[in-house]
Chains A and B, each alone.
Chain A
């Protein structure tokens, strides 16, 4: 097996537990697209082009509520603004060895591919991190497409009482745990959690989410700085 294939497989394998979390998400998004009056082709096209579940779901539900196109697109873009933060953060990891792939490497960037690449992939000596990243996306995108299509066709056959949507935060929680290595990481998480708890219900258009992320980052950076001028980290 070539190193490229090995790297892509490793990425796909590491991202696969997350699939449990996106199955209900993909189904729900597909069902929402269908109830907005779109068909299979539109659902699949949106998934391929936009390639960001939360914004697809947000845009579709706003569309159903009859929001103007401006509000729909504006909201979805705000939801996706975190991609800019991810891209800035992942660039030092993937850009140097990307070569010809560099112009297209933005597209595979998602919450999940970012998380596995930053948490696991970049620390592995046996993989090319760029192909690891691409492999994790191919795996995720295929499942996303299939669940979208099933969602469009099957609608809402999964009973709401199963609460399978709860697997989405659980998946992110499981990814969070290994990132909490230092005391300051824990403080960053707590600061973000408090900010998110207050701001998400308060601020319109889901802007509470990026706001909470920025508050947590500023907290962490400020504490790093205080520590750098005094005692040692860890």
Chain B
């Protein structure tokens, strides 16, 4: 059921494309899917960690994500972004461990 439902979600627009005209307002909305969807996939994991179903603020992750955002905007390079983000996260974790 999960497989069938997911397959339909993915396939119907691809099957129908061309035979049904996409209205202008829908096209205007869809132009913004990449920026909106990617942001939504980034933000929760950069703000929170989840323990036993409860969301908790994760400041170290937030700082690391902001550093990675700077690198991403500047370099547009995925490996550089990954390295920057993980380096700041690990440094932050080490610092927190040192202080506490």
Contact = CB atoms under 8 A, between A and B. Distances in A.
B72 to A, nearest CB: 4
Interface string B24-49: 01101111111111111111111110
Interface residues of B, number: 60
B42 to A, nearest CB: 5
A71 interface: no
A220 B82 contact: no
A163 B89 contact: yes
Interface stretch (A3-11, A33-41, A78-86, A146-154): A78-86
A201 B68 CA distance: 23
Contacts, number: 240
Contact of B35 (A77, A165, A179): A179
A57 B66 CA distance: 26
B10 A86 contact: yes
A157 B8 CA distance: 36
A169 B65 contact: yes
Contacts of A169: 41-46, 65
B18 A87 contact: no
B9 A80 contact: yes
A217 B61 contact: no
A224 B46 contact: no
A66 interface: no
A115 B41 CA distance: 12
B28 A166 contact: no
B44 A216 contact: no
B100 interface: no
B3 interface: yes
Given A17-B79, A171-B78, A177-B76, A119 B34 contact: yes
Contact of B9 (A83, A163, A171): A83
Most chain A C-beta atoms within 10 Å of own C-beta, residue among B29, B30, B41, B90: B41
A175 B42 CA distance: 10
Interface string A200-234: 11000000110011111111110011000000000
Interface string B53-96: 00100000100110011001100111101100110011001000
23 contacts: A76-B2, A82-B37, A86-B10, A88-B30, A92-B22, A95-B17, A95-B18, A96-B18, A106-B10, A107-B11, A167-B86, A169-B43, A171-B78, A174-B68, A174-B81, A184-B32, A185-B35, A197-B47, A200-B43, A200-B44, A215-B36, A221-B29, A224-B28
Q: 9 closest Cβ contacts across the A-B interface?
A: A106-B11, A216-B36, A220-B32, A106-B10, A169-B45, A91-B17, A177-B72, A95-B17, A174-B81
Given A17-B78, A189-B39, 5 more contacts: A55-B6, A88-B13, A106-B11, A165-B45, A208-B44
